Every structure is written in structure tokens, then in C-alpha cells.
Structure 1
Amino acid sequence: MSNVQMIIEERPADIGNFLVGRLLPFRGKRMVGPFIFIDHMGPAYLKEYQNIDVGPHPHIGLSTLTYLFEGNIMHRDTLGTVVEVAPGEVNWMTAGKGIVHSERTPEYLRHSDKYLHGLQIWVALPKELEQMEPSFHHVGAEELPTWEENGVMYKLIAGEAFGHSSPVPVYSQLYLLEIKSATRQTVQISHGLYGEAGMYILEGSIEDGGISYEPKRILVAKNPQLCEFTLEANTTVYVFGGEPFPEERFIFWNFVATSQDLIEKAKEDWQNDLFPRIEGEGDLVPLPSPIPNLKPKKT
């Protein structure tokens, strides 16, 4: 019997420079545990005259997690951070009461052909921390816990699972786990998961309850304690989730909050240039035209 409650397929979304595959939020499932936003970036081939230039834009009420499979992105923010994220590394930025950052192709790559492929993830903050001071942490690939069991490779990118703990400083009970296998293998990971659980299939395919599932979709589990599935050869999946929050979340643009008042204040502050500035950068991303605030539906 399949343990899949819901299938969420990628939908194209324009982020200004190129199309991405939007996974969360979804109309029938706004969040999985504390995970509130997931974009699959690429794989994109960029020619020598094409570059990523996401200018300064604000966030509140969340932490962003950037994880690349290919390519490089230069991160700058209003804390004074200037750091390049490379494949296998983690950029973890906590917005709290407000931060501004930009994401661009590094200068040394701007005149050469390049690839970009990865995940851009938002994790909502607990209500009592959504107005905390902003912070930034960069974690090297070699710092992430990795292990092998029965020919299957595991990497814990963030959170806690299976007795392992990632050095990424998360603020709630969650997990983001990479699982890879070069051969067909049956995997049982029920004992290490909690809360709500989702699986993103990056490449290859999995079989669950006699049904085969292809890439570019999230499978939301009915019960995280019953996660047993078969990885086909050369498959990579990302298992994520954790304890859901008791409160609903509003989303507008890059803002996440437990109250509409916090969203409205952030919108006004950005329009009135009250957020801090990134030194040397002036191409601010404007507040978008009115779009509906997204209030999660109870599922």
C-alpha cells in the first residue's frame, strides 16, 4: 500500500532572470512541517553574456537555505556578508525582523559559459522568533554529516535525523536529507522521521506501493513513520519536513509572518526605503504589484 498522500509537481515560475520550478507553496499544501517555499533552480545553461543578477530584496520571518548541485552564486547582505556558495555548501540566512540580500553570478564567471542548478528553500521561523535579529551562516560541504548504509548514501543538510545533527543552526525541529543510490535499493527510514514528511525526486525514480514516481515532484507522506520505498539505480531524492507550527502563516512576496500586520509593515518599510541597504548596491527589486496574500489552508 502506498504511503503517498499527495503529489506536488513543479510549476514554472519567473524570478526575473530565468524560469524555476516552483514546488511550495502549493494550493492544497502550503507547508510541509516548517518548510514554506521550495524552488528548483535549473538545470540552466547560461552563456557568457547571461548572468544571475537578483538585486537587493528584503525578507522577514524566515530562514533561507541555498543548496547548489552545479554553479556558483555570490551572496551579499545588509549584515556585511559577502560569500560565495558553491555546490554542496549551505548558505543559511535568517531574516528575522528584516534583512536585505542580493544573489549574483561571481565576477570571475560573468564572461564565461556556466551552469546553475540547485534548490532555494525557505523555512518559516517559530512565532516567538519571527522578529529576532537577522543572522547569516555558511557551512562547507565537508562539515555536513554523511554516511552509507547498504549501498545507499545519506547526507544531512539541515536539522536532526537518525542520530545525526547538521551544523546549520536551525530554529525548529526539522530535517533536510539527501539520499542517493547507484543501484536499485529498498530504503526504510521510518525510525528517523517525525512531524510531516515530504520527498523531492531530483533524478531517477522511486517505487512506493507498486507505483513508480518520476523526477520534478514532491511526494507528501501520509505517515512519516511508514516511509519505505525503493530507489531505482542512479536516483537522488531529498527528504524534508519536521514538526508543523500551531499557527498559520501569511506569505506576500518575500515576506512570511503569523500576522497580516507584520506583512503590511514590511511592505510599507520597503516602499519607504526603511530597510537597511547593501553597501555599493542600488538596483533594489521593487515591491510587486498587488498580489493576494497567501493564507495556508488547514489540511
Structure 2
Amino acid sequence: MSNIQLIIEERPSVVGNFMVGRLLPFREKRTVGPFAFIDHMGPVSLRDYENFDVPPHPHIGLSTLTYLFEGSIMHRDSLGSAVEIKPGEVNWMTSGKGIVHSERTPEYLRHSEKSLHGLQIWVALPKELEQMEPSFYHASDHEIPHWQQDGISFKLIAGEVFGRKSPVPVYSPLYLIEIKSNARQTVSIGDELFGESALYILEGSIENDGHTYGPKQILVANDVKLCAFTMAENTTVYIFGGEKFPEERFIFWNFVATSHELIEDAKKRWTEQTFPKIDGETGFVPLPEPNPLKPKT
């Protein structure tokens, strides 16, 4: 019997003025461990008059993780953070009871040709922390644990696994691992994983139980202890997961919560513009209707 419970294909979606590939949420699998949302941005080449612009918008009940392969994004938030995100770095913003941020092409790149490619991820907060004070953390590339094993490159972007720990301050047991192989190689890491787990193929392909899977797919495991696969040459995959929360998570737009009441309160606050503001930003993304994150097949 195959250890693959579900295959999720990337679906097109619009974020700001940008087309992305949505991976989570999905009708048949809304979350994987605490991971509630994953968008694959790009790869895209932008001309000298094209820019990535997502005006101020709010979040509650989650941490956002931005990880770039190419390009650059300027992050600003209502805590006063103003940080340029570059490839290999990790932006970790925890919304808690409420935060507002914007994401834009940095000023010095706005009139030149550029590229953009990366992942944007939401990790739900435990129920007891979903109304915590918001916070922000940025990790440079050299701070993230890297290592080589049996000809394979590993990077622990977030969480704790393999006896290693990322400096990113997560709030529940989880892991986000980058695995790269330049040559055909078999990977068997099930004994190290826990909770729910899934694998995202960024480039190249993998083989499992006699089947071959390619880019832009998420493979959800039945049993993480059986997590073994063969990577083709020049393949990059991301394994993510962790302990599942006992409570269901509801998602409306940029809001994640354990109750509809918290989401309705956030909708009201955003409509009335009582969320905190970002210095230097005047516009904002209006509250959409109906629910833009209703999972689709």
C-alpha cells in the first residue's frame, strides 16, 4: 500500500497584483500539522515598470513565514519593522491578536528588471496563544542550520528535528526542512519525523512506491515513519509538518482562528480601520467578500 494519502496540485490564485500557486488550504486537507496555508510565488521576471505590491493588510491567529529563492521583498509592519527579505533568509511575523503588514518591491529595485520566487507560509498558533501580543523575527541565511549527509544538502528553516533547532521562534512542535540533491539519491528520514507530514516538490522529481512525482505537487504522508523516497538529480523538496492541534482552525481571508467570533471581530476591526497602522503607508487592502480562502479542489 502506498504511504501517500493525498496529492495536492498547485492552483492559481491572485495575491495583490501577483499570480501565485496555492497549495494549502485544500478541501480534503485544510492543514498539515500547524501549517494552514502555503503559496508558491513565481518564478516570475518583472520589467522595469512592474513591481510586487501587496498594500497593508491584517492577520490574526498565525505566524507568517516568507522564504525566497530569488528576488527581494521589503516587509513593513505595524510594530515598526522595516526589513528587506533576501534569498535564504527567513521572515517570521507572529500576528497574535492582530498585526498589519505590507510587502513590496524595495525602492532601489522599482525601476529595474528583477525576478521573484519563493514561498509564503502560514503557521497557526496554539489556541492559548492565538491572542498573544504580535512579534517579528528575521533570520539571516547563515543563522539557519545547514548540513550535508550522504551527498544530500539539508537546511532546517524552522522548527526542531534531527537533533537540530532553527533559531526561528516557533510556538508548537513543527519542522520545515529543505532537501537538495545534485545526484540520484534515496532519502529515508521517517524515524526523525513526527505528527503530520507532507512533502512539496519545488524542482526535479521523486520516486515513491514505483510512482514518479514532479514539481508543484504536495504529497501528504499516511505514516510519517515510512517517509522514504528517491530524489532524481537536481531535485529540491520541502518537508513540513508537526503536531496537529486538537481544535479545528477556521480561515477567512488573512485571519486564522479557533472560533468564528474571533474572525468576525477581526473583520469588524479591519472594516472600521481600528487595527494598528504602518508608518509611511496610507492605502490598504479592503475586506473581501465572500471568503477568498474557501478551499477548492
Bucket of the pairwise TM-score, normalised by the shorter protein: over 0.9
Further displaced range: 66-75 or 14-23: 14-23
Within 5 Å, which residues of 2 pair with 1:131-170?
Answer: 131-170=131-170
Tell me what 2:56 maps to.
56
TM-score by length of 2: 0.98
Alignment of 1:66 onto 2:52: no
**Cα distance between partner residues in 1 of 2:290 and 2:261:** 16
Identical-pair percentage: 70
Task: Report how many aligned residue pairs link the two structures.
Answer: 295
**Cα distance between partner residues in 1 of 2:93 and 2:292:** 26
**Cα distance between partner residues in 1 of 2:70 and 2:62:** 25
Amino acid at match of 1:114: K
Q: What SS does the corresponding residue of 1:270 show, helix, strand or coil?
A: helix
Tell me what 1:250 maps to.
250
Tell me what 1:259 maps to.
259
**Cα distance between partner residues in 2 of 1:23 and 1:41:** 11
Q: What SS does the corresponding residue of 1:266 show, helix, strand or coil?
A: helix
CA displacement 1:5-35 (0-9 Å, x = unmatched): 1000000001131210000000000000000
Amino acid at match of 1:88: G
The answer to whether the 8 Å contact 1:2/1:211 transfers is: no
Amino acid at match of 2:63: S
Q: What SS does the corresponding residue of 2:239 show, helix, strand or coil?
A: strand
CA displacement 1:234-258 (0-9 Å, x = unmatched): 0000000000000001100000000
Tell me what 1:43 maps to.
43
Further displaced range: 96-105 or 276-285: 276-285
Alignment of 1:233 onto 2:255: no
**Cα distance between partner residues in 2 of 1:218 and 1:16:** 24
CA displacement 1:153-201 (0-9 Å, x = unmatched): 1000000110000000000000000000000000100111000000000
Tell me what 2:113 maps to.
113
Tell me what 2:34 maps to.
34
- Misfit runs of 4+, over 4 Å: 292-295
Within 5 Å, which residues of 2 pair with 1:1-299?
Answer: 1-291=1-291, 294=294
**Cα distance between partner residues in 2 of 1:195 and 1:26:** 19
Q: What SS does the corresponding residue of 2:265 show, helix, strand or coil?
A: helix
The answer to whether the 8 Å contact 2:16/2:55 transfers is: no
The answer to whether the 8 Å contact 1:48/1:111 transfers is: yes
Q: What SS does the corresponding residue of 2:262 show, helix, strand or coil?
A: helix
The answer to whether the 8 Å contact 1:187/1:230 transfers is: yes
- Contiguous gaps of at least 5 residues in structure 1: none
**Cα distance between partner residues in 1 of 2:107 and 2:273:** 27
**Cα distance between partner residues in 2 of 1:117 and 1:251:** 25
Amino acid at match of 1:27: R
TM-score by length of 1: 0.97
